[in-house]
Structure 1
Amino acid sequence: MARIAVIGAGTGAMAAAARLAVAGHRVVVYERTETYGGAVRRFTRDGFSFDTGPGLLPLPAVYRDLFVKTGKEPLEACVDLVQVDPSARHLFADGTEAPLPNASRAGVVSALDAALGAGAGGRWGDFLVRARETWDRARRPLLEEPLWPDWPVLGEREPYPAVPHKRLLRTRRAGTLAEIGAWELRDPRLAALLESDALAHGLDPRTTPASAAVLPYLEHAFGTWYVRGGMRELARALYERCLARRVEFVFGAEVTGIVEKDGRAAGVELSGGDGEGTVMAADHVVAGVAPAVLDRLVPGAAAVRAAGEVAPQGAMPSRLTVLLALRGGRPEGTAHRTVVHTTDREGELDRLFGPAPGIPSVPTVTVLRPDDPALVPDSGHEAVTLTVTVPSGQAVSASGVDRILDAAERAVPGLGERVLWREARTPADVAEETGAVGGAVPAPALAAAGGRLLHPSNSTRIPGLFTVGGWSHPGGGLPHAGMSGALVAGLIVEGPDFRGSQ
């Protein structure tokens, strides 16, 4: 039985802790804040409750697998997991509206034909076929296996199938999402639909590789899910599963250093909490922290990453979440999620990813309106969450929040008159909860683009030190965090010959 110290109680770290405990190891999690969940938090006030991190769960199979392999109770016995249908209602710049059914390619094709005109659904359906081929090519090496030393192959190889486009006697192939939209979908509304997933992850579709086609494919193939009571309930269930497997948690204990002995990780140094000023010995250390935090924990942290290995991603955007307590109940038939697309696409992208980043004057807004009595004081009120992508480190003014509410009025008519109070959760709040510089939010790992959108390996040059969570392989998002936990547990339990999850 090995002693394992886990730094941080985010979802990826807890996923690793639960699997390692089941394998017979003694696991202790050290968390600098007073609660678990990382970015998966909850805000409550006056009987209203809101998720401040992810609001929906794609690819629930990752957590089904985790719960099956760490105990007798499956995921559905621990949380009330429900499919969201329609998956999303899209409001496009020209006023067109398209509600898309959940996990139904044929249903989506029909809905798009009805909303956008004959042929639109067929073009989207053909794109999904190519996106599935991209998923089949990239899934295992990108998500289910450790990042091997030959990772540059992932950066060089574009898994999105080539579709030749002729123009002026030249043959071109789409290399970015924006080019897929322009050359293959040939409708600005379909292009906006394609690009909205990338934008939600803080990616510029003009430079994001075509391999990002897997992002909308995941939603269409595996569905979109919600946990009743809010996504914080998933973190709660994972925390309780860890406790049931005898994982120990120490809250309010900030790790200030990773101890090395005889050339390998040998424990953690604590400041605060019950173990102030002490060193806790361990045979393995699992760091579920952002790169800047790891840099502080290991002197010369850049040397931790093997020569030629993927470097941490540069500054990623953050998110601004506006929580709205509304008078008046949720109207029957309201979509759980509505995406209000910007009326100025180029202006939004230039503002977000340009030389002087800021909040776009007309942002794309995701509106979540769960049908969940647990989130409101009574049926005469509604809890609504608005989310927009913003630059990391962005200060948010009241006028900036006003612009977001103005955009959301397209989805919620009369919104301004219904607001009892509002609470803005800014990049500074994300930074406080996660330790990421500027509140940056990591994107999922993607192939191609020279490896620019890959994440550092879960193993490091220091034997016994591993990284887990959104800032390491295979990247950000709840499913990817769960996958990283499985990979780290496999590397520790089975050793460096571990070939990936099955």
Structure 2
Amino acid sequence: MARIVVIGSGMGALAAAARLATTGHRVTVCERSRTHGGAVGRHERDGFSFDTGPGLLNLPAVYRDLFIKTGKETLEDSVDLREVDPAVRHVFADGTEFTLPNASRAGVVSSLDEALGAGSGERWTDLLNRARGVWEATRRPLLEEPLEGADPSALAHDPYVPLKRPWLRRRSATLTGVARRELKHPALVAMLEEYALRYGYDPRTAPASLVVLPYMEATFGTWYIGGGMRSLADAVFQRCEERKVEFLFGAEVTSLLGDGSRVTGVGLADGSRIEADHVVAGAPVPGLDRRESAQHTATGRCTVLIAAQGARPPGTVHRTVVHALERTEELDALFGEDPVVSARPTLQVLRPDDLALCPDDGHEAITVTATVRTRGVDWAVPGVADSYADRLVEAAGSAVPDLAERVLWREVRTPADTAAQTGAPEGRVPGPALAGQGGGWLAAGNRGSTEGLHFVGGWAHPGGGLPHAGMSGALVAELIGT
């Protein structure tokens, strides 16, 4: 069996480590920080607990497969997996709002028709039916097959865009083009574009194939893990330990060892070396030949963790999306040439029904998150983060009317914190890989140009997000084999 060094302990790296160790390899994980999980972090204070990364899970089958393939206990044996229903509430600046059930097409049609007028639900469902074709065309090459080298040919064409109707192809080449042509109602357009913004993509340039993301959510549902999503990282870490993976914390990898044609190990910041037959990179290392899509924009996340007095009211929706006052202004602020932040962005408010996150039932842990610029905005400058957090809390009042009066204290996390925690350049957060536009929305291949080097995690195929990161671990384990 081979000696394998895994760089970093994010979810993709942990998934790879657990799978590789299960097949008999000797696996050592080098993590520069003092804990595991990468971006899937936790902040605790005064009896409150908050996720500092993803707050929900789509496509739990990825982690079900991981637990089945690496031990006796299933995912459900290892964590408290809960279906989130309703899935989301949408609130718009003009007062329009609606709540959508989880994984219920009929329920979604009814809710949209009631809020936006007859036919609205059918237009949204028709879009998802067409998005199924994207899922069927890209499921294997995007989620079940490694992307080797930098050849994007298998995913260069956008399966949502018809090849034989050039006039339609031009109009539907982007997500915004699809939204305006097929959905028409401004609220439906905003609802579709929010999927792009959630992952830091400009819907005006993102490929139409991005419709696969709402399809996945509608088909496989939205899930939460009791105690917070950090519990998933803890469970995967525990599985690694059960499989005898060795963890070295405070061990920053600064170089790769080898003769240029094959890696033979890694060098650490303290001057020590670890020999290896394979190196699996799940974190940035100077000099690595990682391919980063030119289409990916320089965005991260600003999150406000709010310890609120007062109980969570019965019937409160877990996730609310508060849409921007003016979408064009928001997009220009995020993706334009001038380094500014939006006055009132689209934001997400998470209010889990989970007493494990609070000191008692008279308090509530609330998380408010928005996608923000990283390049050109210095989030470390005193006052910048707090000023922007004030805007987010004010805007979140549309979802939690008495929020400002309920705040006991708050913690603000910006791209600067993400960079410090994960090592991500400028604190950027990678989005999932997408088909189309000549392969310009793909991430690094899973096999490096140097023999023995492999890539996992959000910056590698198939991109960011909990399901995609978990799949990257499976793909690399398959490449290395037994």
> Which TM-score bucket, shorter chain as reference?
over 0.9
- TM-score after normalising by structure 2: 0.95
Aligned residue number for residue 380 of structure 1: 362
Helix, strand or coil: the match of 1:320?
strand
2:277 alignment partner AA: D
Helix, strand or coil: the match of 1:397?
helix
Gaps of 5+ in 2: none
2:271 counterpart of 1:267: no
1:427 alignment partner AA: P
Aligned residue number for residue 192 of structure 1: 190
2:334 counterpart of 1:352: yes
Whether the 8 Å contact between 2:385 and 2:412 is mirrored in structure 1 is no
What is the CA–CA distance in structure 1 between the aligned matches of 2:350 and 2:432, rounded to whole Å?
A: 22
Whether the 8 Å contact between 1:42 and 1:52 is mirrored in structure 2 is yes
2:276 alignment partner AA: A
Gaps of 5+ in 1: 495-502
Q: 1:242 to 1:171 in 2, by over 3 A?
A: closer
Q: 1:172 to 1:316 in 2, by over 3 A?
A: closer
Whether the 8 Å contact between 1:316 and 1:442 is mirrored in structure 2 is no
What is the CA–CA distance in structure 2 between the aligned matches of 1:6 and 1:156, rounded to whole Å?
A: 30
Question: Cα offset for 1:162?
Answer: 3.6
% identical aligned pairs: 59
Whether the 8 Å contact between 1:130 and 1:161 is mirrored in structure 2 is no
Question: Cα offset for 1:94?
Answer: 2.0
1:278 alignment partner AA: S
Aligned residue number for residue 249 of structure 1: 247
- TM-score after normalising by structure 1: 0.91
Whether the 8 Å contact between 1:313 and 1:455 is mirrored in structure 2 is no
Aligned residue number for residue 399 of structure 2: 411
2:473 to 466, 482, 485: 485
Whether the 8 Å contact between 1:312 and 1:471 is mirrored in structure 2 is no
2:282 alignment partner AA: G
Helix, strand or coil: the match of 2:481?
helix
Q: 1:439 to 1:326 in 2, by over 3 A?
A: same
What is the CA–CA distance in structure 2 between the aligned matches of 1:216 and 1:262, rounded to whole Å?
A: 43
Aligned residue number for residue 224 of structure 1: 222
Whether the 8 Å contact between 1:310 and 1:451 is mirrored in structure 2 is no
Residue pairs, 1:135-154, within 5 angstroms: 135-148=135-148, 151-154=151-154
Residue pairs, 1:454-493, within 5 angstroms: 454-493=442-481
1:436 alignment partner AA: A
Question: Cα offset for 1:119?
Answer: 0.5
1:85 alignment partner AA: D
Aligned residue number for residue 409 of structure 2: 421
Aligned residue number for residue 370 of structure 1: 352
2:205 to 189, 204, 207: 207
Whether the 8 Å contact between 2:199 and 2:430 is mirrored in structure 1 is yes
Q: 1:166 to 1:277 in 2, by over 3 A?
A: closer
2:442 counterpart of 1:444: no
Q: 1:28 to 1:186 in 2, by over 3 A?
A: same
What is the CA–CA distance in structure 2 between the aligned matches of 1:107 and 1:485, rounded to whole Å?
A: 35
Residue pairs, 1:84-233, within 5 angstroms: 84-148=84-148, 151-162=151-162, 173-233=171-231
Question: Cα offset for 1:144?
Answer: 1.1
2:385 counterpart of 1:391: no
Q: 1:121 to 1:311 in 2, by over 3 A?
A: closer
What is the CA–CA distance in structure 2 between the aligned matches of 1:5 and 1:115, rounded to whole Å?
A: 53
Q: Provide the aligned C-alpha RMSD in A.
A: 1.9
Whether the 8 Å contact between 1:165 and 1:173 is mirrored in structure 2 is no
What is the CA–CA distance in structure 2 between the aligned matches of 1:267 and 1:172, rounded to whole Å?
A: 48
Whether the 8 Å contact between 1:12 and 1:469 is mirrored in structure 2 is yes
Question: Cα offset for 1:436?
Answer: 1.1
2:237 to 236, 239, 246: 239
Q: 1:228 to 1:388 in 2, by over 3 A?
A: same
Question: Cα offset for 1:154?
Answer: 4.0
Helix, strand or coil: the match of 2:17?
helix
2:304 counterpart of 1:322: yes
Deviations 1:316-348, CA, capped at 9 Å, x for gaps: 300001000001010000000000011201010
